[in-house]
Structure 1
């Protein structure tokens, strides 16, 4: 049952009783009020299953309740009693389902049978597993070139599934691995190695316990990684200073009521989180970072002039870094007036942050997609690294850089080989372990895969999880191209938009979920995942599968591989699926960093992969950490239309990636609707618009393609001037395929130049 449409002020803190009520409501809505709580008690426990939502780490000493509100929603979404059966598809043609919203599609329940699209009836019909594998093999083996197939991976996939997938695809003959990380944190994977030699964060949860300052850029932890709030809550209560930068005054960055704190719950009190919360302009984070660094240098000059010690960590800088002189030159040349204009913050604000930084012994810098999803996302990440390096805040307790990855194993998938740019070490490891020579050519990421679809060279798409058709940018250009593919295959747990934007032939292959028991020939299996802080641990479901027809992701991949490659394959597919220990043995053989894999994951909590940067070892060409210069201040190409706004896309509190748990966004006071746009009162007055009016959002494109979403309701909201916000994926049609970071190809979801017009009745257009 959807909430009644309403927009009203929500004054409660994040978490607390609101979170408990929402958890109870979602369990009831999915029909699991009885066994749901028992399932939740198994989540993020040493002998249980890993949360299928975010990748925030588990504490070393777990309590009985190691789940958050959104984690509970993710489990309820998967463990629902609703079923999407062949009878459902018989009742609803695809043309009808395309008109359903994403929430209603998800509410159809768990997929129960493999299905094939029948164009004559416009319906999906049941197909056997063997026939499905043979159909895929027929299409793949008919291609003139293996590079005409695209193999997508969602971050939900386990290490075991992702490893088998990339082995199959490389034995098939291509490195085409468009991956969900390409659309979110690829800027991290490209930018951080250039700065510190590793494309991952350098902190652990223990560093949050020891930090006396925490800076947060472009991250909304209360919605996207709520268990992080426990660490921020504890840090705030012990006196750490938390400084947040976000266009929105996100509720969890303001105050939080810990559901596990009986005093806060009984007294209805909450804990302030951010010591300062600065509403930076969309595309203004680098200007803020450069302003902080410029202020640090000004403090340093003052101290040196007075005969006192430098505020920079000169011992660290001299021993471990290169490039500071060029950075200093650039910062001196950058004018405060330009910094203030681009960031939307004052010199006084940024100088205050610099003072906090200087006074803090240990600083952790956290960032999310507000930093990465820009035209210069790779360079944005490097500026965050610059700030950390200035005072040696890396490679010691209580300090470091923390990119907050999204999906539960998006980092692990990359570690075990999901990459379109294979290293020589990876290629050699595969040949050593399996005896075939994998292809060496650069493959396709998401942007390149989409271009191949648009230009007609891509013929087959296989998706290991995810909701590709909804998650990608530029729907007007991309979705018609997907429909022209010869075959699309989706390995999924629930019905989503990706099943309805399909090729000429299409398959839905239903798989086990994270919460379900995985039985193979050698017994019950566990899988492994890697969290945002490089901890690898086991996960084993406890619920009976939603259908006897479900297969595990490794079993599905092995079935496709055997059907496609035949007996000449060098890989013992059946043997490895029979016991996932054998998959992990192969992972260890290809990637020596996993030495002792099977033994180590049987230890409670698992083990941490070694990080060179955490040990102050720099795997860069210079063998040092590198300061990087960001020319100018603009993160995105400047638009000249003075009436334009920068649109940032974001998630509601009741969604995870493209999964919609409800049509409401409690913390922002929006209920029962998602077709809204957030704009401040000054921008509305400037345009003669009013809250509640319906408007169209039109992208300012430079390629002649019209990109527009219509009929969005105005919600007046506190945002910086020149900015607005609306939900992802509903506004993905506005993001041009060409609008991406040239280094990492990360789409610019967080900075879309648009103009507004009133939605006129009867097709008439009124300019706003």
Structure 2
């Protein structure tokens, strides 16, 4: 194993290092030659959609339309490695639990349906028919349908997700804990309150027209690297790019485009951000309020001097409500409090305000640094306030741009994966399929875990994902999952979620995005929705990793038929024989998909209409609504003098819980992950040395001790009072109670902790 080391990384993001990392990823998975051909079909009109992030494809694609991390995501699915029954027979589950997450996935693609055998503590092969029958028997023995949880990962297609929600609702529950609950649920809750839609309002071409782009709590170089191309283009044509983040992310400093021969051959790069503002962890709300306070003050000065107003007063008067209350709050909020909470100076924020006001059109981009807080929904509304001040919604080159994570997390929600279904949706479901769906609200992730802990849930079915690792309060959450009667996971590869299992457990292996999906009606295409509401088809070309694999859609339909029989009489086999029939059903239930099958046959797909983009506001008032954000703290203030605010984050060589290596080259961390980043002033205050091993302990308010040991102290340029560690290693420190009450999203990005020295050998 390579030696672990900390070494400053001084090269730009992207560039030759990115190409080298891509080649290494293909080689380590045994697809150095075949993988190249597969990559050339990824994100192309007649190819398959990247299984990584949800960044949209340009209308005119280049010869290769993939990034380093997208290539790794593909390589991890197209690997030649196989996790066969013979491989799994070598290890007990107890042995596998001692492995790290990287080594688990490196066993390769799952090839057979597997059933947990308690006598041998191993997963053993089982036929599809027996697996379905056994699962049906256990689910049929539940006292209530609400004793089952139906979890979805954002990698599931629209077709699979629609059938999954249909299955669960026909079974009798609205329990849909979903990966979006853990990331962008505040977007789905907050934007409808402000704008009447739960999605962003920009298209990719708006980046070509924006005069300013403000980025809050988003690291595109790692989480959505293809976003770097429009950012690079915007920077080169002179658009102002302002970045707000506790870390100075390398891609937001400099980027070398692997698709640009001049930059690659000349070893030059493009500066991306005009300014980088290192906000405190949890300081984005204060920073946004500071920018708005400065904007309103400048507008007040212009009005008093009888000069041209700097706010879009015509838009505010004609399209919004609540401005006066917002302005009053801004005027009353003192600058010293804003500076203290944000970690930025008044001069910084007034400068950002002037840049914003000079821009004719501005895009406001945000990621999980904004949403994963105790006030995540309010944060989203606060950022929307800033857009509304200048009328930056519903016109070219402007808008709100939430950067979603997994490739179809947004599409899952659009086709019905929600624990809070509307009456209109349920009525249409009843009309199309002839059964009465449950009307009561179900469980999101936090409520599902709480119900497991209380013993009110007995079964857990997962359409993809690695739920047991991704959840907050990991130790206590996993203890609750082990007490379940049944866990079922539909997966491509082994992960820790399969090792944290119920008394009965099944692994159902599925096809990947890049593989041919042949059903009774012939080869099939699935569809996905990207983060800008573009829906397009995806069709794999690679042969399946095993003849025993089934598509996600076929597995869901098989489970539904086994569990439900003919009551209600839903034609599961007919639906899966030809996915056009599933899309026809989606169109019947969701009129927004009108002409679904015809429209996905047009290269590039189609856009799901956004009313807010047309300046039609589906809010109770019929207008876009400003919202007052009380105070400045995104998370409850901690008076403990030892407290540091911990933010969890991904490494560059990681996507969600999947690790491509143990390195994070942009932050200079190699062959290790148990590190905690702290600035030198905070280290001196605590008497810590670089390389010293420490434990992090949550400052909990429920009497439960949460601590994780073994972190190496790494000096890093961060604001005072802050520290950072990798997800999911730090997830046990995130209390289940620390979540946004409106959206249920856990506060992964702000955990109050103390740093403790570890005793020798401890």
**TM-score band, normalised by shorter chain:** over 0.9
- Following superposition, the deviation at residue 89 of structure 1 comes to 1.1
Number of the residue aligned with 2:43 = 44
- Following superposition, the deviation at residue 3 of structure 1 comes to 4.1
Tell whether 2:220 aligns with 1:216: no
Number of the residue aligned with 2:689 = 690
- Following superposition, the deviation at residue 136 of structure 1 comes to 1.1
Number of the residue aligned with 2:12 = 13
Q: Contact 1:3–1:663 (CA<8 Å) still a contact in 2?
A: no
TM-score, normalised by the number of residues in structure 2: 1.00
Number of the residue aligned with 1:597 = 596
- What does the per-residue CA deviation read over 1:542-565, in whole Å, with 9 as the maximum and x for residues that have no partner? 100000000000100001000000
- Report the Cα distance in structure 2 between the residues aligned to 1:24 and 1:63, rounded to whole angstroms: 19
Tell whether 2:629 aligns with 1:630: yes
Number of the residue aligned with 1:396 = 395
- Report the Cα distance in structure 2 between the residues aligned to 1:176 and 1:475, rounded to whole angstroms: 20
Number of the residue aligned with 1:491 = 490
Tell whether 2:112 aligns with 1:101: no
- Report the Cα distance in structure 1 between the residues aligned to 2:569 and 2:426, rounded to whole angstroms: 15
SS of the equivalent of 2:506 reads strand
- What does the per-residue CA deviation read over 1:448-485, in whole Å, with 9 as the maximum and x for residues that have no partner? 10001000010000000000000000022111100000
Worse overlay, 211-220 or 418-427: 418-427
Q: Contact 1:374–1:740 (CA<8 Å) still a contact in 2?
A: yes
Q: Contact 1:220–1:253 (CA<8 Å) still a contact in 2?
A: yes
- Report the Cα distance in structure 2 between the residues aligned to 1:76 and 1:333, rounded to whole angstroms: 54
- Report the Cα distance in structure 2 between the residues aligned to 1:762 and 1:367, rounded to whole angstroms: 42
Q: Contact 2:694–2:756 (CA<8 Å) still a contact in 1?
A: yes
- Following superposition, the deviation at residue 95 of structure 1 comes to 0.2
Number of the residue aligned with 2:340 = 341
Please give the residue correspondences for 1:401-480 in structure 2 after superposition, counting only pairs within 5 Å: 401-480=400-479
- Report the Cα distance in structure 2 between the residues aligned to 1:127 and 1:223, rounded to whole angstroms: 39
- Report the Cα distance in structure 1 between the residues aligned to 2:55 and 2:661, rounded to whole angstroms: 23
Number of the residue aligned with 2:734 = 735
Please give the residue correspondences for 1:151-230 in structure 2 after superposition, counting only pairs within 5 Å: 151-230=150-229
- Report the Cα distance in structure 1 between the residues aligned to 2:431 and 2:104, rounded to whole angstroms: 45
- Report the Cα distance in structure 2 between the residues aligned to 1:455 and 1:640, rounded to whole angstroms: 32
Please give the residue correspondences for 1:641-680 in structure 2 after superposition, counting only pairs within 5 Å: 641-680=640-679
SS of the equivalent of 1:755 reads strand
- Report the Cα distance in structure 2 between the residues aligned to 1:395 and 1:560, rounded to whole angstroms: 44
Q: Contact 1:246–1:278 (CA<8 Å) still a contact in 2?
A: yes
- Report the Cα distance in structure 2 between the residues aligned to 1:148 and 1:303, rounded to whole angstroms: 61
- Following superposition, the deviation at residue 305 of structure 1 comes to 2.0
TM-score, normalised by the number of residues in structure 1: 0.99
- Report the Cα distance in structure 1 between the residues aligned to 2:29 and 2:455, rounded to whole angstroms: 41
SS of the equivalent of 1:568 reads coil
Stretches of 4+ moved more than 6 A in 1?
none
- What does the per-residue CA deviation read over 1:617-666, in whole Å, with 9 as the maximum and x for residues that have no partner? 00111110000001000000111111110000000000000010100001
- Report the Cα distance in structure 1 between the residues aligned to 2:587 and 2:138, rounded to whole angstroms: 32
Q: Contact 2:194–2:626 (CA<8 Å) still a contact in 1?
A: yes
- Report the Cα distance in structure 2 between the residues aligned to 1:762 and 1:36, rounded to whole angstroms: 44
- Report the Cα distance in structure 1 between the residues aligned to 2:153 and 2:2, rounded to whole angstroms: 30
SS of the equivalent of 2:420 reads coil
Q: Contact 2:151–2:463 (CA<8 Å) still a contact in 1?
A: yes
Q: Contact 2:303–2:309 (CA<8 Å) still a contact in 1?
A: yes
- Report the Cα distance in structure 1 between the residues aligned to 2:474 and 2:410, rounded to whole angstroms: 27
- What does the per-residue CA deviation read over 1:529-586, in whole Å, with 9 as the maximum and x for residues that have no partner? 0000000000000100000000000100001000000122321000000000000000
- Report the Cα distance in structure 2 between the residues aligned to 1:350 and 1:591, rounded to whole angstroms: 43
Distance 1:444 1:361, change over 3 A: same
Q: Contact 2:236–2:270 (CA<8 Å) still a contact in 1?
A: yes
- Report the Cα distance in structure 2 between the residues aligned to 1:205 and 1:97, rounded to whole angstroms: 43
Q: Contact 1:474–1:734 (CA<8 Å) still a contact in 2?
A: yes
- Following superposition, the deviation at residue 139 of structure 1 comes to 1.1
Q: Contact 1:280–1:720 (CA<8 Å) still a contact in 2?
A: yes
Distance 1:3 1:602, change over 3 A: farther
- What does the per-residue CA deviation read over 1:36-61, in whole Å, with 9 as the maximum and x for residues that have no partner? 00000000000000000000000000
Number of the residue aligned with 1:766 = none
Number of the residue aligned with 1:366 = 365
- Report the Cα distance in structure 2 between the residues aligned to 1:467 and 1:150, rounded to whole angstroms: 14
RMSD over equivalenced CA pairs, Å: 0.6
Number of the residue aligned with 1:264 = 263
How many positions carry a matched residue from both structures?
762
Number of the residue aligned with 2:567 = 568
- What does the per-residue CA deviation read over 1:50-95, in whole Å, with 9 as the maximum and x for residues that have no partner? 0000000000000111000000000001100011010111101000
SS of the equivalent of 1:117 reads strand
Number of the residue aligned with 1:535 = 534
- Following superposition, the deviation at residue 704 of structure 1 comes to 1.7
Q: Contact 2:297–2:331 (CA<8 Å) still a contact in 1?
A: no
- What does the per-residue CA deviation read over 1:123-165, in whole Å, with 9 as the maximum and x for residues that have no partner? 0000000111111111111111100000000000000000000
SS of the equivalent of 1:299 reads helix
- Following superposition, the deviation at residue 385 of structure 1 comes to 0.1
